[in-house]
Amino acid sequence: MSNSFPRPSKPSPAGFVGLLLLLSSAAAAEPAGNFPELSRVFYDFEVAGYCGLVTNAVGHGFRRQAEGLIQRDGLDRETLNRLRGDAWQAAHAEWQNRGLGGFRNWCRTEGSAAARRFSGGSAGSSP
């Protein structure tokens, strides 16, 4: 007597990769959508870091803003880690997309604005 059930086929690598992309994009999109202010604070700090603009004043301003939003929203460690990771990935992707030398204008505009946001307007403060 033969088995009447069809033999399962091997999973497709393309299907597996597609599933991973779908799951990771859904997971990555959720925290930023729920906490856009804190996501922006983390992203701006990453941009300032990529541009070499993090001084003591920028670091203190970042911590003050982030801690205020974390307390306000009562976020757990897992959510914070996800938000930080998403911000780093977004800043890194943006930096990579700029190409050779293209990041200079990004740093001059978005990076400087981020540093000013945290330092209270003095992006050129010394560390």
Predicted local distance difference test score (pLDDT) of residue 53: 96
Give 3-state DSSP helix, strand, coil % of the chain, rounded to 5: 75, 0, 25
Predicted local distance difference test score (pLDDT) of residue 33: 53
pTM assigned to the model = 0.68
SS3 98: coil
Which runs of consecutive H residues, i.e. helices, occur in 35-126? Answer: 36-50, 56-73, 77-97, 103-106, 112-119
Phi-psi region of 101 (alpha: psi -120 to 50; beta: other; left: phi over 0): left
One digit per residue, the tens of pLDDT, for the chain of length 127 reads 555 544 444 444 544 444 333 333 334 433 345 799 999 999 999 999 999 999 999 999 999 999 999 999 999 999 999 999 999 999 999 888 887 777 888 999 999 999 999 998 654 443 3
Predicted local distance difference test score (pLDDT) of residue 1: 53
Predicted local distance difference test score (pLDDT) of residue 45: 96
